Structure formats: C-alpha cells, structure tokens
Amino acid sequence: MRIEQGTHADADRLLRLFDDAVAWLVARGQTAQWGTEPFSARPAQAERVRGWAAGGGLWFAVDDAADAGAIVLGDAHDYIPPPDRPELYVQVLLTGAAWRGRGVGAALIEHAAELARAAGAEQLRVDCWAGVPELPAAYERLGFSRTGSFDVDGWPGAILVRPL
C-alpha cells in the first residue's frame, strides 16, 4: 500500500469512497451517521466532497491501483472549538469496505502525524459520530483521547486529540 496526494481532479475517487462507506453503514443498519442515500446522489454532500478534494489536504491509500482509503487534512470544522495549540485537523478519514481491518486508517493517520510534525503542529484532532461507541474507540486505538463532545442538529459527535 502506498499513500499518494490527491487533487481537485480526484473528487470522484473520494466520492466513491463516501458512497462505499454509506452502503456499508446501511448494510449494518447504522443509518443515523450519514443517512441511506449515497453522497453522489445528494448535491450538497457531493459539493462538500468536491470542496475537500480541492482544499489541498487530500491523501489516498492505494493498494494494487485501487483506493483503499482516504484522509482529508486541514482546519477544524466550524462546529469544533478552536485549538489551544498548533494542530492539523483530520476532516475526513475513510476506509473502503474491502480493506477494513487491514491497517488502512492507521497508515493514513500515521501519514497525517508525519505531515503535522513537519509543519510544526503539536497535535492531531478529529471529530466523529458518537452514535455508536465503536467509532470513537477506533480513534482511541490510534492514539487519540476523547476531549469533548458536541451536537449538530441532533447529530452527536465526539472530539478527539492525539498529541504529537
């Protein structure tokens, strides 16, 4: 597996990973996180994905020419409190269903940590849906600690930080 930087031209690659994630969540009955429709069928979500792809912080984990996962790095979302120290924020972390449990997320987070250290950041932060305990726990296994929570229109979230 290799990590390669994405560009605005890779928005459809990122969108396919989101659609894959939604299908996986729906199959598990976990529809409260991102709903039941693919992001590609929802204009507002598709536009949001295009914005992430164009933002300069998109990276893909590629395995045998297939996208195993993606990470988008940048500033914290507007619903997250500002940082108390220099950071790099994980805006998106996705692993393709066929690669779950194979270390893709860990590899992408380690890549983010390397980029953050090189830029002088002192921490990585991320938020995630807190509707199931498994999702925040997955970040905790990657070295993050839960530092807060939030609610956006009934969508419960957790804020996690990983010192560098």
Domain boundaries, the chain: 2-163
Q: Which residues of the chain have pLDDT under 70?
A: none
Q: Residue 65's pLDDT is what?
A: 83
Q: Supply the pLDDT for residue 33.
A: 86
Residues found in the chain: 164
* Backbone conformation region of residue 103, classed left if phi is above 0, alpha if psi is from -120 to 50, else beta: left
Q: State both tokens at 18.
A: 């989101």
Q: What does the alpha-carbon distance between residue 46 and residue 122 come to, in Å, rounded to a whole number?
A: 32
pTM comes to 0.93
Give the count of beta carbons closer than 10 Å to the beta carbon of residue 55.
15
Nearest to 61 by CA among 21, 99, 19, 4: 4
In the β-sheet with 58-63, what is the strand arrangement from edge to edge?
2-5, 58-63, 66-74, 87-95, 123-129, 155-163, 145-152
Q: What is the pLDDT of residue 35?
A: 86
* pLDDT at 112 (0 to 100): 98
> What CATH homologous superfamily does 2-163 map to?
Gcn5-related N-acetyltransferase (GNAT) (3.40.630.30)
End-to-end Cα distance, the chain: 24
